[in-house]
Structure 1
Amino acid sequence: MSHRDDVCAWLRERGTETIAHPGGTLYAHLCRVHDLLGTFGHGGDVRLAGLTHAAYGTDGFDLALLDPCDREPLRALVGADAEQLVYLYGACDRRRSWPDLVTTRHLVDRFTGRVETLAPELLRPFVDLSIVNELDVLVHDPTVARRYGDYFRSLFATWAPVASSGVTAETRRLLARSP
């Protein structure tokens, strides 16, 4: 069994195949994000972060598979680097972090209220994970695309200088079709 298979089994044990999410289930969404990150050239740690990005819940999906105060179980499953990215993704207060993220690298932790400064090597993986996640939701839920398409077009344009070129191209392609 591969590491990915172990993580998928862990996700299924937590009921992700029964949790509704645009495009079917949370499990299907997590697998698509993992695969898309690989398509855009990310390695194992970022892909595993994509596969487990909802473990602590997110600012946009408030269902947690684990308590964010107990990070060791996920760290043991996916490794320290992937878990760190998952924590940052789940902890991100989007309203207060996303608009200036590229210029400040500041992320407001919605769990603690503290401001974290993303290390330069974490900025691209964080941005790519955030974009890929939202693109998957937009593709699978036209109402979200209609409601937030303009917002994401604008936001992702400001993130383009640090996003992977493939992610930026896919963003332009998908959001050009979006209402």
Structure 2
Amino acid sequence: MAARAGLTGAGRAASIGADPTAEERTPGPWPCPLPRRTRPQPTPSRSWANRERGAGRLPHPGGDLATHLRRVHSQLATWGARPALRLAGLCHAFYGTDGFPTALLPLPRRAELAAVIGEEAEELVYLYASCDRPATYPRLADPEAPFHDRFTGTTTLPSLAARRDFAEISAANELDLAAHDPDFLAAHGPDLLALFTRVSSLLSPAAWADCQAVLADPLPGSPEGPPPPCGVPSAG
């Protein structure tokens, strides 16, 4: 994976009170412009997602959503991800995803999340949340293939760096699910391995190695081959 610039800044996360079940959406292509800020971009505390967003009350494989988010953050750190990418992993489910519809924050309040984790990380959160997986996954590694936004119904052409970030978050998310839910691994391990094999050029060497270690032959006799056109089911 190409070297990526780091994100600096520190501070205590601001409280954002919102209904964890909100699913509001706002139109506009990715990335939607956000106001530039001159002040340092703060870093959320470890317990922010749990305490401030109610993620700790949402069931999720391996415990609750807050625990899952922290594990994804830690996995990305283990792989050497830059700070902005780690923060995006920590908040990757805040707007809901194609596999986990519950939103922790409505899209009209994107600027509030950006104020907490920084604009670069928030734009990655939106990219991950907005992905129409069945339409996007088959050609994700193709730099000329469109990226389908499920919120707006539009398509964009993310940069190679953005595709790499998306793939890295996806791997961290799916591997955490596979590691903590044996039924998920048995049902979806072969399809996930086929997906990450197809996009392995986008993954860091460490992420690709873990994909092979966790997903290879999760269930004896499982069928091999590419994932079905509908994409890979997921809970994150």
Pairwise same-fold verdict (TM > 0.5): yes
Q: Which residue of 1 aligns with 2:206?
A: 166
Letter of the structure 1 residue corresponding to residue 104 of structure 2? L
Q: 1:105·1:123 contact (CA, 8 Å) conserved in 2?
A: no
Q: How many residue pairs end up in the alignment?
A: 179
Percent of residue pairs bearing the same amino acid type: 40
Map 1:27-38; keep pairs closer than 5 Å.
Answer: 27-38=66-77
Moved more, 69-78 or 18-27: 69-78
Which one of the candidate residues 154, 167, 172 is aligned to 1:132?
172
Output the CA distance in 2 between the equivalents of 1:10 and 1:144: 24
Output the CA distance in 1 between the equivalents of 2:95 and 2:125: 8
Q: Which residue of 2 aligns with 1:42?
A: 81
Which one of the candidate residues 45, 52, 73 is aligned to 2:112?
73
Q: 1:106·1:115 contact (CA, 8 Å) conserved in 2?
A: yes
Q: 2:49·2:55 contact (CA, 8 Å) conserved in 1?
A: no
Q: 1:7·1:77 contact (CA, 8 Å) conserved in 2?
A: no
User: Bigger radius of gyration, 1 or 2?
Assistant: 2
1:22 matched to 2:51: no
Output the CA distance in 2 between the equivalents of 1:79 and 1:99: 30
In the TM superposition, what whole-angstrom CA distance separates every residue of 1:141-175 from its partner, at most 9, and x where no partner exists?
Answer: 11111111111111110011111000000000001
Q: Which of structures 1 and 2 has the larger relative contact order (alpha carbons within 8 angstroms, sep 6+)?
A: 2
Equivalent residue of 2:141, what SS?
helix
TM-score for both structures, normalised by structure 2: 0.72
Q: Which residue of 2 aligns with 1:117?
A: 157
In the TM superposition, what whole-angstrom CA distance separates every residue of 1:13-68 from its partner, at most 9, and x where no partner exists?
Answer: 21111111001010000000001101101011000000000010000001101112
Letter of the structure 2 residue corresponding to residue 88 of structure 1? L
Q: Which residue of 1 aligns with 2:195?
A: 155
Shift of 1:106: 2.6
Q: 1:97·1:106 contact (CA, 8 Å) conserved in 2?
A: yes
Q: Which residue of 1 aligns with 2:123?
A: 84
- Note closer, same or farther for the CA distance 1:135–1:10 as it changes in structure 2 (3 Å cut): closer
Q: 1:128·1:164 contact (CA, 8 Å) conserved in 2?
A: yes
Note the aligned Cα RMSD (angstroms): 1.6
Output the CA distance in 1 between the equivalents of 2:85 and 2:44: 16
Shift of 1:7: 6.3
In the TM superposition, what whole-angstrom CA distance separates every residue of 1:110-163 from its partner, at most 9, and x where no partner exists?
Answer: 100111211122121110001110110111111111111111111110011111
1:13 matched to 2:23: no
Output the CA distance in 1 between the equivalents of 2:83 and 2:202: 20
Moved more, 71-80 or 117-126: 117-126
Letter of the structure 2 residue corresponding to residue 125 of structure 1? D
Map 1:44-63; keep pairs closer than 5 Å.
Answer: 44-63=83-102
Shift of 1:95: 0.6
Q: Which one has a larger percent helix, Structure 1 or Structure 2?
A: 1
Q: Which residue of 2 aligns with 1:142?
A: 182
Q: Which residue of 1 aligns with 2:135?
A: 96
